[in-house]
Every structure is written in C-alpha cells, then in structure tokens.
Amino acid sequence: MAKLKHLDLRQAVIDTCLRMNEEGINQGTSGNVSVRTPEGFLITASGIPYARMKPDHIVEMDLDGGYIGEYLPSTEWRMHLDIFKHRAEAGAIVHTHSIYATALACLRMDIPAFHYMIGIAGGTDIRCSDYAEFGTPELSKVMLKALEDRSACLLGNHGQIAFGPNLEKALWRAGEVETIAQQYWAALQVGKPIILKPGQMGTVLARMKTYGKQSGEFNKTDAPSVTGLVRRDVPKTSAARKSARKK
C-alpha cells in the first residue's frame, strides 16, 4: 500500500469531525468535512463513524471528481468540490445537520439581520437554498446560489454548510450559524424580531473583516473590530530612544 499523503491534514479532518459531534452541531455520520490540498481536497469517507475513523478513511480527491483509495468519499463530495472550484478563498468546509439550522432549513427560512452576528457569514442574512436531492449536481447548483457573497448558508430541507480559510475557522463558522439559528428560533417564539437597518449592518460588516484578528494581522485602513483602546506599554522606537537621550 502506498504511503498516505497529507497525514497531518487527514488527522486534522478526523479531529474536526469529532469536535463537530462533541460540540453538538452534528449527529452520527450525517455531516462531512473537507480541506483543500495542492492536488484537490481531502474529505471524509461515506458512512464511517467518526470515532472509528482512521487517516486512510479520509479520501483524497481531485477537482474533476476523481478519488484515490479503497473508500468511497462522502455522498456530498460534489458540494465540497464545487465550493473549492468556485470559491478560491475556501480552505476547508464543514457540512452539518445541526438541529436549529436544519429546522429553519425545513421551513425554507432565510435568517435575517435580527442580530449583528449574522455578519459572520459575510452579509446581511444567511440564505436558505431551494431543495435538491442529496449528493446531486442540482444540490450544488442551489447551494452555490445561496452562497453568493456568503461563506455559509442553509440547505433547503437538509442542513447547513460553512467554509473558511482553514478547518478551525470553518468549524467555528458552522457553530456560529447554529447558534444564530437557535437564537432566531427562540426570538420567533416570542414575537417578530427587530431587523437591523442596512446602514447599521454596513458598519458591522466592515468591522467583521477584522473580527478575531490581532492588530498585526490586518491593514491600517481596515475597520478594527476592537476600538477605543490605548496601549500603555508600546515599546519605544530607536528614533524615540535617541531623542529621549538628547533631551
């Protein structure tokens, strides 16, 4: 048997699957996870419980639908392939059947800007796609439409899908989508939530671009997510030290 490629990435996919279930955003073997590679991507095999999954159960695929190894990839491999082909910024993908996101998807409900954290998906709402049968090209088509200018969406009568630059960010985003879905569901039980105005969400979306980043990780022209602070221990530059000595 040939030596497995991308062993660390394969284990990272397994670890992400285990966390996905431990965090309560997926059940059993219903979800799937993938990560981009130079050759294409790695994806979970079909129907194998995550607790029994080993690195050779992570299937290597190219972007033309070809796979390597004895195990079949997830039935949802097309969704992952099409995101990787059409969204260059996607480094990893998490698809789950989380409870509240799936409930809203079964109602074919978009999630509007009832809360500013809707911005984690990249826009002023989280769209729900039309229904299409699992594992089909038609599902990829309606998914890509719902994902236009977004990094997550609900899948009609199915679940949710989210992507990010890496596995950690993709899992985080999927978790946030489920939290937002639960909050929206809870608000609907009481009344009609107040929707934030486009201008309010505009500033939120600008600041969301630096959400979770440290100051050295974004440009000075970017809108900072953390504001109003004064650092007290800024090291003096060499020029400042020379000027202080002269005085």
* Phi then psi dihedrals of residue 229, to 5 deg: -100, 155
CA distance 4 to 158: 33
Q: Choose the catalytic residue: 76, 138, 178, 217.
A: 76
Q: Which two tokens stand for residue 15?
A: 């670890």
**Helix H or strand E segment including 186:** helix 167-190
Q: Please spell the DSSP secondary structure of 120-147, one letter per residue.
A: GGTSS-B-BPPP--TTSHHHHHHHHHHT
76 included as an active-site residue: yes
Q: Which residues have CB under 8 Å from 83's CB, separation 6+?
A: 90, 93, 143, 144, 147, 161, 163
First to last CA, the chain: 73
Q: Could you give the residue numbers annotated as active site?
A: 76
